[in-house]
Amino acid sequence: MPGQSDVPQGRLTRAFFARPVLEVAPELLGCTVSHAGVTVRLTEVEAYGGSNDPGSHAFRGPTPRTRVMFGEPGGLYVYFTYGMHWCANLVCGSVGVANGVLMRAGEVVDGLELAGSRRNGVRDRDLARGPARLAKTLALGRDQNGIDTPSTGSAFVVQSHADGSVTFAAVSIRPRRTGSHVETFSPRTPRQPLTPDPQPSPTHRMPCACLRLVHVWS
């Protein structure tokens, strides 16, 4: 699915999220997410296809836990996993479809000192390198579940990447211990060959059917 995203600058609107998950996911790469004094630029995301995707929490239909996934596009679905971590998805597609994009990894671009205080002793480059790390760095938990990110005044803000467009090139890979088809995306210019992320987030070890996207910044 190589191509060029064309994301308008500024806060992302509901119309941006109200599209198929495989269109939304790559365009989130390079966007920033801000909450509680910290801003993270997304460098890795995963797309989940709701009832069509065995790896999605919504695969078996609506539950009290997953109701946000079936709601308005642009909703923030924050969930507890492994009895110890919070992770967060951005809902996309149509109401009732339950598509979502997991914010899997990022780079802190503002609020570095505050982010470091939330993850004491962790190197700057690792503060948001992984979905649970990203959520902790942004101070996401149960109380943030259901935030409507496109709303004016929302505590969680998703903004487009500064240049308004990013060119991606795709490479298909098959990760260990999953039967999923995975695509890795990174930007490419005529002078820059396709380059895998030299420090991707830790390997996803749970069975899932997902599209994995990695944006490598030069």
What are the structural domains, with CATH classification, of the chain?
3-167 (3.10.300.10)
- Higher pLDDT residue, 170 or 79? 79
- Higher pLDDT residue, 119 or 5? 119
The rounded percent of the chain whose pLDDT value lies above 70 is 69
- End-to-end C-alpha distance for the chain, whole angstroms: 22
- Higher pLDDT residue, 161 or 64? 64
Mean pLDDT of the chain: 77
- Higher pLDDT residue, 186 or 148? 148
- Higher pLDDT residue, 105 or 82? 105
Confidence of residue 181 (pLDDT cuts 50, 70, 90): very low
pLDDT at 214 over 70: no
Lowest mean pLDDT among 37-51, 60-74, 155-169: 155-169
pLDDT at 147 over 70: yes
| Mean pLDDT confidence for 189-216 | 43
